[in-house]
Amino acid sequence: MTEYTRILEGAHTGEPAAIQSLFELVYGELRQLAADKLALESAEHTLQTTALVHEAWLRLGADAQPEWHNRGHFFAAAGEAMRRILVDRARRKLALRHGGRATHLDLDGIDLIQDADDDQLIAVNEALDRFSAVEPDKARLVTLRYFIGLTLEEAAQAMGISDSTAKRWWTYSRAWLFREIRRNR
């Protein structure tokens, strides 16, 4: 049993020391993931790294941690939490400032979203929701790559799959999402 797994189990049972250890253990990694993700967002965003990490921690359960099977399970959930936070913020911003109107989406750079605007973020999120209904594991890989910013190798390790499987899934997922977004435009 790894240290992560031991701490995750203790946090699930409500041990205060384990919850504190978990937060200390993952905080640096979550902060780096959030910083990397926010660095790729458009210049208009106002969310700070620390705020994203803290909001994700709260959505993960804070002091009432659910049962995590391992490090990969925890970071997959953290990725999903960050994804939802960013998408929720983008939707609120579009609803308030832009009246929710859609703009052109260019998916040529889906694996590098350096200039992702709110419309693109929402379009990818909606397509990913549909994708997760038919291919949940592949959708999880996309979440780790697109919304967290993990490399393909890091995402494969977090999911417990081989690099070659991750590459096949990533290629398939990109094609599926591209087709789905184009169909719904």
Least Cα distance to 167 among 136, 132, 146, 141 occurs for: 141
Q: Please state, in angstroms and rounded to a whole number, the distance separating the CA atoms of residues 68 and 11.
A: 9
Least Cα distance to 40 among 109, 97, 95 occurs for: 109
Asked if 37 and 48 count as a contact pair (C-beta separation under 8 A), the reply is no
pLDDT, one tens digit per residue, over 22-69 is 888 888 888 887 887 777 666 566 678 888 888 888 888 877 777 877
Q: Which residue has the higher pLDDT, 20 or 42?
A: 20
pLDDT, one tens digit per residue, over 153-163 is 988 988 899 99
Most confident of 6-15, 95-104, 155-164: 155-164
Query: Half-sphere exposure of residue 48, counting CA atoms within 13 Å on the CB side?
Result: 3
Asked if 71 and 4 count as a contact pair (C-beta separation under 8 A), the reply is yes
What per-residue confidence (pLDDT) applies to 44?
61
Kindly state the average pLDDT of the residues 67-74: 80
pTM: 0.54
Confidence label for 139 from pLDDT (cuts 50, 70 and 90): very high
pLDDT, one tens digit per residue, over 140-153 is 999 888 877 788 89
Beta bridge mates, 116: 41
Kindly state the average pLDDT of the residues 164-178: 91
Radius of gyration in angstroms for the set of CA atoms belonging to the chain, rounded to a whole number = 17
